[in-house]
Amino acid sequence: MLRLGLGSRYGFLVLAMCVGLTVGFSVVAFLELIEWVQGLFFTEGSEKLFATIASQSPWWVILLAPAVGGLIVGLLVTWFIPEKRSHGVADVIEASALKGGKISTKTGLISILAASTALGSGASVGREGPAVHMGATWGAWLAKRLNLTSTHTLTLVGCGVAAAVAGSFNAPIAGVFFALEVVLGQYALKVFAPVVIASVSSTVVCRQLLGDSPAFALPEQTITSLWEVFAFGLLGVTAALLGKALIESIEAVQNRWSKTQVPGWLRPGMAGLAIGGMGIFYPHILSVGYEATNLALTESLTLFMLAALLLTKFIATALALGSGMAGGIFSPSLFLGAMLGGIFWHIAQPVAPEFATNQAGYAIVGMASVAAAVLGAPISTLLIIFELTADYRLTIAVMIGTTIANLVLQQLGHHSFFHWQLKKRDVSINYDRNELLLHSHSIEPLISQQYGLDNPDHSLQQGSQTLMASPHYVLLLVDGSGGFSGSVRSKVLMTELLRRGQDVVLQEIASSRDVCVPPNASLQTALAMMSKHDMNYLPVVKDLQTYRLVGIVYQVDVLDYLNHSLVEDD
């Protein structure tokens, strides 16, 4: 662990700041790359004016751009990513819960390149998923370079996630809570401090280079009557139904593709062709769609346009994500929520005009509700909406909508889009706090040198003498080439010495040399192996090829470490 002359805790805060700064510059580069790709297809690049720029292009450009972009995405993913799919938030959650925060740097770079191509060419996806994965990749990369423990690796991954959200949406508070709520699953102070540092560092970089204005400009907002809480609650229910329909539509598209002979690399291109066809008539559905979202928030869309954009964006997003297009789901959720809120207002306003807040208010609540349901992160979504709009006057309405939407979607069988993705891959992360610690922490910090050492060819008599001269009760056997050969407990050694005599060699009574673990093994793996072989210790080897001895880990130390970690988190 780095100390930097200030102690390990302060040194780690410096590392968190480095991650935040790096991710901040990376977010800026990501956005520039998207606009550069957009310029290649549509002659000009601007995320906030994507629809305007696209509508000025020939119809065949709008039709073919997402198709060509999708084809490039399919080839990139198929050729360079082992799983043959782009990675995003779900993969970061899996890595944090089950892999000690380890993330492939190559996969992270290819995924961000694929996402830039998809977004720049007009695919109906979001940029938050790739950005979050990119931030997590930087955190994991730095932890690997410095050979940090899994605990510190997870924290740096969380720092990268927070920095990515903060930089992408100019939302430092939301970045912190997204990392803690969605990825790390804990709010311990030892994690909170570095995550805050990273989020703030990234925000400073992005505000200096991209500006400090909120993503959406809003008219004056206020809740007309507290009786509207029932309308906001009903909007939350409707948002949950829309979120469920979106997730299940994406699944339906995936299932349909799986029943065809179309190769995986071609599917994003074919989906892009369909998206381009819809984009000819409704260019606002292309890419992130912030322009249309802003129109809904400024009450510039008719009921017909709200419904048409909701339907076409829904279909385009389901086709894109269901076909393997690289990108996230948060921005499409904001788009769909804004349209849904506007439609809901048009229905509610004639019923009780004296109690109806303006259309923009319902659009904001719709945005927050759909996004909260799909992401399964009501706290983070609430904060992101507030920071995107720089408006806190609808706090009660947004809280009601997001809470009810999230609860209803869970009752309908979906925790979030990300958990649905993991479930489709047969990955379960439904652990309690003890299980999360067991799976996400390695034995590395618990390795000790408290053991006796002997040669497997020595007799039991010689082994007993070695143990008598040692303060320890476990004898690890290492052959002449330095390879681990097995282990013997003092109780077993003495029993066999009395029963079989002193001329028997240690190797005959030793446990198999395969009863050992590498340093990066999780606490869960170590405890499971101890239980299986009825042992209260495990030898640790460098790897399972050379069996070079590293040390030993004791069951009592694992349990004490687990208990200590739980107390700290509380």
Looking at residue 182, its amino acid is V
SS3 label, residue 537: strand
As a whole number of Å, the CA-based R_g of the chain is 28
Q: Are 49 and 293 in contact (CB under 8 A)?
A: no
Q: How far apart are CA 298 and CA 301, in angstroms?
A: 8
CB 481 within 8 A of CB 506: no
What's residue 439's pLDDT?
67
Q: Which amino acid is it at 189?
A: L
CA distances from 559 to 185, 278, 419, 446 (A): 21, 58, 29, 11
Whole-number pLDDT of residue 6: 39
Beta carbons within 10 angstroms of residue 300's beta carbon: 13
Predicted pLDDT at 109: 94
Dihedral angle computed from the Cα positions of residues 520, 154, 197 and 138, in that order, rounded to the nearest 10 degrees:
80
Q: What is the pLDDT of residue 327?
A: 92
Q: Which two tokens stand for residue 201?
A: 């560092």
- Among residues 310, 396, 410, 329, which one has the least CA distance to residue 361? 396
- How far is residue 325's CA from residue 116's CA, in Å, rounded to a whole number? 11
Amino acid 355: pLDDT: 57
pLDDT of 29: 95
Check residue 353 and give its pLDDT.
67
Q: What is the pLDDT of residue 569?
A: 45
DSSP assignment string, 306-320:
HHHHHHHHHHHHHHH
Per the CB < 8 A criterion, the answer to whether 460 and 509 are in contact is yes
- Start-end of H helices in 323-450: 330-351, 359-375, 378-389, 395-411, 417-424, 433-440
pLDDT at position 563 is 72
- 8 A C-beta contact, residue 88 and residue 129: yes
Q: What is the pLDDT of residue 101?
A: 80
Question: 133: which 2 tokens?
Answer: 């994965």
Query: Over the chain (570 residues), what is each successive 10-residue block's mean pLDDT?
Result: 49 92 95 94 86 92 96 95 90 82 90 95 92 95 86 88 90 87 72 92 92 68 70 93 96 93 94 96 93 89 95 97 94 94 88 70 90 87 78 78 91 87 78 60 86 88 85 87 87 84 83 88 86 90 86 89 59
The predicted structure's pLDDT at residue 270:
97
Q: What is the DSSP letter of 540?
A: E
pLDDT the model gives residue 565 = 62
3-class DSSP assignment, residue 522: strand
Return the pLDDT at 7.
42
Domains annotated for the chain, with CATH where assigned, are 8-213 (1.10.3080.10), 226-434 (1.10.3080.10), 444-569 (3.10.580.10)
- Per-residue buried b or exposed e for 384-397, using 16+ beta carbons within 10 Å of the residue's own CB: bbbbbbebebbeeb
**Which distant-in-sequence residues (6+ apart) come within 8 Å of 153 by Cβ?**
100, 101, 102, 139, 140, 143, 144
Comparing CA positions, the residue from 513, 478, 488 lying closest to residue 497 is 488
Through-space distance between the first and last CA atoms of the chain, rounded to whole angstroms = 24
Say what the pLDDT of residue 297 is: 86
Residues 6+ positions from 191 with CB-CB distance below 8 Å? 155, 158, 180, 184
